[in-house]
Structure formats: C-alpha cells, structure tokens
C-alpha cells in the first residue's frame, strides 16, 4: 500500500510518497511560492537527480496536480498511475477539543477544521486547501487528518486548563493544546518499542528540540503534560519564539512603544528566543555554539537560557510522573547537538542519570546514550512525522 503524505502551508506544500510494505520513501518534494509569481516544484527520488518543475501554481489544486504529474513522470516518477496511490494523509495543525486522534476525512471533519481557523490562523486554512485539492485531484481516495493537537488531548484538566476565569474556556475553549503532537506521539511510541519498555514502566519524556522546541511527558504513549499551550508560543526558549513570559510584559511594551498586541505577538513569535538573546546574531544553534566558543557573551547567554528552561521542564516532568523510564532527544538540536545534550543531562546526575560521553557522540540516528547503571535510560531518537502520518493513514484506511 502506498500513502501520499501532504503537509500544506499557506504558500508551500511538502509531500512524501511512502510504500507502507517496508515504510520506504519512494519520492518526496516541495512546492514553493504557491499563489506567488515564480512557483517551483522540487521532486526528489532516492538515487536520482532532483527534478525541478518551474510552472505557475496559482492554487493548492494546481500544486497537487503538479505533484501527481511528477509522481507519474516517465523519467522521474515512481508510480505508473495515480491509481497506485492508495490513500492520502494530511498534517492538520488544529483539531480543537473535538478530535483526540487522527480521523478519516468527511464533511464533518472539514467543518471542524474550518471552525478551528481562529485557533490556527496560519495553518488550518492551508491544511484545508491541501485536503480539498487532493479530494478534487484524486476523487474516491481515502484522506486522513492527523492533528498536531491530538497528542495533547489526553492531558487532565489540571494540566491543560489556564487559571483564568472559566467563561473563557467555556466560550472560546482557551486551554493548553500542545503542538509537535505528531512528533511526540511518534518518538514516545518508538522509544517504548526500541527500549522494549515493559507495560507499567513506560514513562517517557520526549525533548523535541529544534527551531521550535517542546517537551512532553507521557505514560504508555499517552501525554500527561506538554510544554506548548494555546499556541506554539508557550514553553521553552526557541529559535525565534520567546516561550513563557509574564503577560504583563506584553502590556508594558505595547504601552511604552505604542504598538498593538498583534505587533507584540509577531515580535514574540519571530524576533525573540535565542535570536533575541544573542543580540540578533542567529536563531541557528550551530552559529550560536561557534560564536560562544569564540567568546561571544550574548551567544553564550542565549544557549544558557535555552538549556536552563529545558532543564526546568525535564525536572518538572520527572516530578509530574514520579520519575521516568526513558528520556528521548529529537529534532535538529536534540538529534545533533552533542554538547547541548550532555550539558542538559549533567543537571540530572544528582538523580543517578548518567550519559556515556562516547555513546553521546551519535548524530541523527537512534541510539541509547546513557550508561548501563543510569537510573533513567536516555536515547537519541530521530523524529519522523511523515512516517507517523503515513502509519495513521494506513491504520484508518
Ligand atoms: P529543526 O527545526 O528540527 O530542523 O532544527 C533546527 C535546529 O537544529 C537549528 O537551530 C540547527 O542549528 C540545529 N542543528 C541542526 N544540526 C545541528 C548540529 N549538527 N549541531 C547543532 N545544532 C544543529
């Protein structure tokens, strides 16, 4: 069975065609500048040169049609006809409080995705466009929605409710949803599988550290806490997002700088985080590590602040679950930044959690990095959101 995975953004669309018999990626690619002049599709097939189509893509519908054209292309394609694609899995940002897991798409599902435009204004409209484009281009195929918020739906009210008047929860469903859910779901399940954690000993902390960063605590693959909130702004210090801050900061800066709350949110999402703490140097951890090594104090501050918040969050979750059986690092930083992993885990030596410096040299591949006597096993476990979406699509088709 072959599953097409679609991740539609407002002006871009990423795809992967996965053969579920062996979970191999047959082809993947990216449509850029949809609806903007100069659109292009880059199609990649393992072992072949990239295939680039520069053609107008005024809508997501035309983008999907080009993707299908590339997939069946006699020279660069990987299937002889669109009929060989059995189902389509869609990444959808927000399912509100309605969907606690992935679901086969019908009119009711599309209605809920539309009703959540308010909660995911940048992503949900694009996700829906991707779905409707696939329905039009491949009538009769099963389409599945995999929600980034679904993983957070198993939180108890004391973990997801904000301590603000109830009316805002009742009227607007203002609560903590958590994001990166597909990644947390995949990595927590894979950690349980890879580590062969027995039932009753499946308390896992997943540190998804990348440009966007979040940490989850889960038991048996079900989330009990997660660091992002109503939006992905809450929680850790990120590449360009501030993470947690006193809401009074927003009022103070808006009043003194005479800017709107919308402007302030743009600053908190796009101009904050390690980018801001490093004095505008970079949001990329490779640049920051190099600058810090060369004595740049602001880059060092940015890395220290990032680590401090990660440590506080892991420590909090160790308390929430009364310990942990495994901690897994994933995301660009979690999978590759050897020094950051080591320096985070150093804070937990008091609890008998120890990293083996040799094993910790691993980059981008799954490996246990703790010592045999560590009280909690620690892993590097690369995330694979597309495969998670494809597995959910297979399960529901
Ligand atoms: P992501 O958003 O998951 O793609 O992660 C992007 C982040 O991972 C960026 O801050 C990169 O600097 C960081 N990253 C990627 N590779 C490395 C590496 N080899 N060492 C340190 N950080 C890395």
Instruction: Quote the distance between the C-alpha of residue 228 and its chain's center.
Output: 11
CB-ligand 1 contact for 48 (6 Å cutoff): no
What is the residue-averaged pLDDT of the chain?
Answer: 96
Q: Is the pLDDT of residue 10 over 90?
A: no
Q: What CATH homologous superfamily does 2-147 map to? A: ATPase, nucleotide binding domain (3.30.420.40)
Q: Which residues contact 373 (CB under 8 A, 6 or more apart)?
A: 352, 354
Alpha helices in the chain (DSSP H): 60-72, 107-115, 124-137, 157-160, 166-172, 181-194, 248-257, 261-270, 273-277, 285-293, 297-320, 331-336, 338-345, 385-396
- How would residue 339 be classed by pLDDT, with cut points 50, 70 and 90? very high
Give the pLDDT score at 58: 95
Residue 330 CA to ligand 1 centre (angstroms): 10
Do 2-147 and 198-380 show the same overall fold?
A: yes
Residue 337 CA to ligand 1 centre (angstroms): 7
Span 263-313, pLDDT tens digits: 999 999 999 999 999 999 999 999 999 999 999 999 999 999 999 999 999
Residue 150 CA to ligand 1 centre (angstroms): 26
Could you tell me the two tokens for 369? 């990095």
Mutate to test the pocket of ligand 1, among 285, 306, 344 (most ligand atoms within 8 A of CB): 285
Query: Considering only CA atoms, which residue is closest to atom 18 of ligand 1?
Result: 336
Residue 331 burial class via C-beta count within 10 angstroms: exposed 0-12, middle 13-18, buried 19 and up: buried
Residue 369 CA to ligand 1 centre (angstroms): 19
Per the annotation, the verdict on 19 as an active-site residue is no
Mutate to test the pocket of ligand 1, among 290, 336, 343 (most ligand atoms within 8 A of CB): 336
Span 126-179, pLDDT tens digits: 999 999 999 999 999 999 999 999 999 999 999 999 999 999 999 999 999 999
* CA-331 nearest atom, ligand 1: 3
- Rounded Cα distance, 222 and 159, in Å: 13
Q: Domain ranges in the chain?
A: 2-147, 198-380
- What are the phi and psi torsion angles at 116 (to 5°)? -95, 10
CB-ligand 1 contact for 336 (6 Å cutoff): yes
Q: Is the pLDDT of residue 239 over 90?
A: yes
Query: Considering only CA atoms, which residue is closest to atom 8 of ligand 1?
Result: 332
CB-ligand 1 contact for 119 (6 Å cutoff): no
User: What is the chain's length?
Assistant: 397
Span 360-394, pLDDT tens digits: 999 999 999 999 999 999 999 999 999 999 999 99
- How would residue 120 be classed by pLDDT, with cut points 50, 70 and 90? confident
Q: Which residues contact 16 (CB under 8 A, 6 or more apart)?
A: 4, 5, 25, 27, 28, 386, 390
- Rounded Cα distance, 387 and 381, in Å: 14
CATH 3.40.50.620 fits 198-380, yes or no: no
Which residue among the candidates 49, 107, 148, 287 is catalytic per the annotation? 148
State what percent of residues in the chain have pLDDT above 70. Answer: 100
For 27-44, letters b (16+ CB in 10 Å) and e give bbbbbbbbeeeebebebb
């Amino acid at each position: 069975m072959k599953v097409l995975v679609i991740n539609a953004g407002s002006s871009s669309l990423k795809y992967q065609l996965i053969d579920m018999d062996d979970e191999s990626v047959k082809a993947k690619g990216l449509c850029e500048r949809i609806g903007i002049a100069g659109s292009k599709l880059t199609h990649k097939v393992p072992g072949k040169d990239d295939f680039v189509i520069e053609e107008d893509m005024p809508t997501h519908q035309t983008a999907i049609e080009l993707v299908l054209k590339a997939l069946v292309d006699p020279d660069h394609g990987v299937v002889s006809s669109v009929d060989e694609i059995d189902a389509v899995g869609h990444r959808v940002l927000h399912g509100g409080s309605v969907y606690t897991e992935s679901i086969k798409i019908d009119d009711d599902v599309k209605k809920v995705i539309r009703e959540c435009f308010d909660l995911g204004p940048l992503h949900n409209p694009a996700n829906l466009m991707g779905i409707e484009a696939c329905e039009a281009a491949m009538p009769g195929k099963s389409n599945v929605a995999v929600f980034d918020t679904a993983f957070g739906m198993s939180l108890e009210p004391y973990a997801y409710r904000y301590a603000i008047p109830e009316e805002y929860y009742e009227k607007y469903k203002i609560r903590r949803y958590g994001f990166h859910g597909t990644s947390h779901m995949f990595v927590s399940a894979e950690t349980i599988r890879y580590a062969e954690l027995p039932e009753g000993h499946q308390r896992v902390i997943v540190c998804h550290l990348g440009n966007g960063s979040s940490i989850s605590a889960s038991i048996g693959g079900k989330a009990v806490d997660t660091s992002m909130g109503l939006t992905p702004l809450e929680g850790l210090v990120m590449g360009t997002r501030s993470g947690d801050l006193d809401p009074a900061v927003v009022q103070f800066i808006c009043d003194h700088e005479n800017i709107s709350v919308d402007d302030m949110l743009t600053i908190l999402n796009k101009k904050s985080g390690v980018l801001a703490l490093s004095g505008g140097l970079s949001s990329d951890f490779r640049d920051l590590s190099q600058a810090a090594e060369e004595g740049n104090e602001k880059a060092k501050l940015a890395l220290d602040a990032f680590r401090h918040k990660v440590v506080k969050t892991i420590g909090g979750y160790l308390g929430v679950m009364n310990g942990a059986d495994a901690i897994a690092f994933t995301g660009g930083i979690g999978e590759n930044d050897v020094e950051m992993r080591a320096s985070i885990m150093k804070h937990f030596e008091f609890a008998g959690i120890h990293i083996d410096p040799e094993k910790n040299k691993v980059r981008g591949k799954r490996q246990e990095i703790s010592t045999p006597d560590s009280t909690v096993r620690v892993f590097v476990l690369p995330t694979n959101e597309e495969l998670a979406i494809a597995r959910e699509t297979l399960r529901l088709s």
